[in-house]
Structure 1
Amino acid sequence: MFTSLPLPRGVDADELLRGYLVALEGLLPSALKSVVLHLVRGTWHEEVKFCPRPPELANMVRFEQRRVDAINRPRLPAPAHIQQPFKDIRITHRHRADELQAAGYYFHSNCESLDKFKSGAKSGQYPAGSIHLWAIDEVWTPRQVSQQPDTERTAA
């Protein structure tokens, strides 16, 4: 490193080496080697024109060690993304209404709430076996109990 990067003027190389020994004590040699290679190649993330002083080099080595530790730290796998879009209950009920119609059920009437449907079922307004699709406010009744609307009366 000393041959690749010039020392600032007035700096004694022996004193600098003793300062490095004190500053780098306890740091991992692999991180030091990586930092020195980056400095010699000129690939360190900051521009370095002179040989770094001991505290600067110690900070660089600590930064490199944190970076390596972060890369090697075990991580939980990312949660799997659900490929299905959000299902709107109104769409689900519309499909259910289509299924009921295919099974022979008839649309009886609109009903805005479950409470109205319950009271209507108790009072006989809705035949037995009626199904309330609350998201689309519809009541469907089975064919055998459904009364077909009299088209002759409604036409007149």
Structure 2
Amino acid sequence: MNTEDLKFLKIAVEKHPTTGTTLEYLIKQNAIAALVLNASGDKTLLVKQYRPGIAGEMYEIPAGLIENDESEINTLYREIEEETGYLPDSYNILYNPKKPLTVSPGYTQEKLYIYIIQLKDDSILPEALKLDEGEDLVGEWFSLEEVEDISQDMKTIFALSLYRNLR
């Protein structure tokens, strides 16, 4: 594979400002992620999908890339609908980030906006998923106590900790 064939990642190189060392990093789109809670706030919806970085499937909170000139909030609405089937009028936003988090500044420019949303009522049924080409995921509800036992995903564990600190 040629680096020009990469769809989501672009490789960049620059010189360190004081040492002159060559630094390599990835230019990657910013993203959103959302902890989706049920109406009583004791369960969260995680999606299971294959992740090449671990060569296997993992459970994580729904997330997705911000496209072109799309706003962060519109990306939230789109990704939640695509990956969970819930529409914006189905939930309340409990936490709206003031600014994004830097994912891994030593190797990528990517920033991540983490949201916390809660269904208005547990009887709300999701619409059909609208997955992107190549996506293959399934959602499953878990009690908050189970999450750290079943997920090794940093954004998932962070969002859960953020929610616990808000309560």
Q: Same fold (TM over 0.5)?
A: no
Higher relative contact order (CA 8 A, sep 6+): 2
**Greater Rg, structure 1 or structure 2?**
1
- More strand, by proportion: 2
Q: TM-score, length-normalised on structure 2?
A: 0.18
Q: TM-score, length-normalised on structure 1?
A: 0.19
- More helix, by proportion: 1
